[in-house]
A and B are shown apart, each in its own frame.
Chain A
């Protein structure tokens, strides 16, 4: 699936997005987040505080515990600050 990062997550990870296949045992957005955090480095820094991470699956806001299902795109980002 395509994974996108926005705002300070993008800066800490150093990537705007990447393609990956969730490994066995990764079924929810939170599990994917933890899988990515375990890479350490910028990923570890970006995902250190799950309380400030928001997520969208196929461009819909969802809670982190949502199943990835057949989604083709997931985005991780901080709480939004537009307007």
Chain B
């Protein structure tokens, strides 16, 4: 399986990443792109990570996905540093012969990534204040559901 893992400040080129992921055997590519969501005066996020450990955690997640689904490729790119409203934060993409594997693996990877990789977000607001984001129980539940081999719970509205 082609595996590409990156933690970087720079933006990623989704089209180029998907093109690189595709192979002649692939019947489908699935992708998820997380972006900075606005609201409540938020102006930007700042993301911090644990260099070395973070990359290894992402590599392991990719390998876990490949062990569970028939993947031809897996790309995980996570940005760090200051990210403005609407900016892409994370790209998870997988390639497989059939869509079910790619779709499930992509959902698994983004759910796991939220609880198994050392990243921390802080929020910057228009009034100049800053606040560290707290972990959400719903994220832990979504990640745990995969471990129990149950379908993940729906995202809260």
Residues of A within 8 A of B (CB): 4, 6-8, 56, 59-61, 75, 77-83
Tell me if B122 and A56 are in contact (CB < 8 A).
no
Please give the number of chain B residues whose Cβ is less than 8 angstroms from any Cβ of chain A in the complex: 27
Tell me if B53 and A56 are in contact (CB < 8 A).
yes
Give A19 Cβ to nearest chain B Cβ, in Å: 17
Please tell me which one of the listed residues A6, A7, A80 contacts residue B117 in the complex, with CB atoms under 8 A apart: A80
Q: Which of B13-21, B63-71, B130-138 contacts A (4 or more CB under 8 A)?
A: B130-138
Q: What chain A residues lie within 8 Å of B113 (beta carbons)? A: 82-83
Contacts A7-B48, A59-B53; A83 near B120 (Cβ below 8 A): no
Asked if B23 CB lies within 8 Å of chain A CBs, one says: no
A59 to B110 Cα, complex, angstroms: 21
B64-97 vs A, CB cutoff 8 Å, 1 = contact: the mask equals: 0000000000000010000000000110000000
